[in-house]
Amino acid sequence: MVPIPWCETCAKYLEQDDLAEEGKCPGCGEIIAQRAKTPWHFKLLVVGTTIYLLYRLGQGIDWLVRHVHF
């Protein structure tokens, strides 16, 4: 992953072309940190996996209720 300019004060990513002189934020004037951005497809994978596991958990609880008699 390529680091992307990130302003902590403004809490936003910036383009290289938007940076002011000496790598400062054009909005607040703070020096910009380089931060790697999480890819969108990784976030989608995490959400999909979470939904699937919650579905399977519901199926497991349903199976226990129907087959195990206390």
User: By residue range, what is the domain housing residue 62?
Assistant: 38-70
pLDDT at 63 (0 to 100): 95
Report the distance separating Cα 36 and Cα 18, nearest Å: 18
For 8-40, the pLDDT digits (tens) are 888 888 887 777 777 788 888 787 887 777 888
* Domains contained in the chain, number: 2
User: Half-sphere exposure of residue 32, counting CA atoms within 13 Å on the CB side?
Assistant: 25
Q: Are residues 2 and 32 in the same domain?
A: yes
Q: Are residues 18 and 1 in the same domain?
A: yes
Block residue for tokens 């072309």: 17
Amino acid residing at 16: Q
Report the distance separating Cα 52 and Cα 62, nearest Å: 15
Q: Are residues 45 and 14 in the same domain?
A: no
Q: Are residues 52 and 62 in the same domain?
A: yes
Displacement of CA 69 from its chain's centroid (Å): 43
pLDDT level of residue 67 (50, 70, 90 thresholds): very high
pLDDT at 62 (0 to 100): 96
